[in-house]
Amino acid sequence: MDNPYFHKPNVYGFHNVTDTTQQLLTPQLNHISMKLLPFPLLSERSHVKQEMICNESTVSNCDKTFCECTHVVQIPLNAVVEMILIDKGFAYDANHPFHLHGHSFRVIGMEKVGKNVTVDKIVELDEKNLLLRNLENPPIKDTVTVPDGGYTIIRFVASNPGYWLFHCHIEFHVEIGMSLVFKFGEHEDMPPVPDGFPKCGNYDVVDHPSIVESIWSSLFSSSSSIPQIQFITFCLALIILRVLR
- Name every residue whose Cβ is closer than 8 Å to that of residue 157 and which is 6 or more positions away in sequence: 78, 79, 80, 81, 103
CA 209 – CA 213 distance, rounded (Å): 6
> Is there a contact between 158 and 121 (Cβ–Cβ < 8 Å)?
no
Number of Cβ within 10 Å of residue 241's Cβ equals 14
Supply the mean pLDDT for the chain: 82
Residues 171-184 pLDDT 10s? 888 888 899 999 99
CA 26 – CA 29 distance, rounded (Å): 10
Instruction: Tell me which amino acid residue 166 is.
Output: F
Residues 7-57 pLDDT 10s? 776 776 666 666 766 667 778 888 899 998 889 999 999 888 888 899 988
Q: What pLDDT sits at residue 226?
A: 37
> Is there a contact between 153 and 83 (Cβ–Cβ < 8 Å)?
yes
Q: Which domains does the chain have, with CATH numbers?
A: 28-192+231-243 (2.60.40.420)
As to burial, measured by CB atoms within 10 angstroms (0-12 exposed, 13-18 middle, 19+ buried), residue 116 is middle
CA 118 – CA 214 distance, rounded (Å): 48
CA 109 – CA 205 distance, rounded (Å): 44
Is pLDDT of 3 > 80? no
Residues 190-244 pLDDT 10s? 999 999 898 887 766 666 666 656 655 665 554 444 333 322 223 445 667 777 7
Q: What pLDDT sits at residue 137?
A: 93
- Cα dihedral value 167, 173, 176, 177, nearest 10: -30
Is pLDDT of 4 > 70? yes
Q: Which residues pair with 109 in a beta bridge?
A: 153
Q: How many residues does the chain have?
A: 245
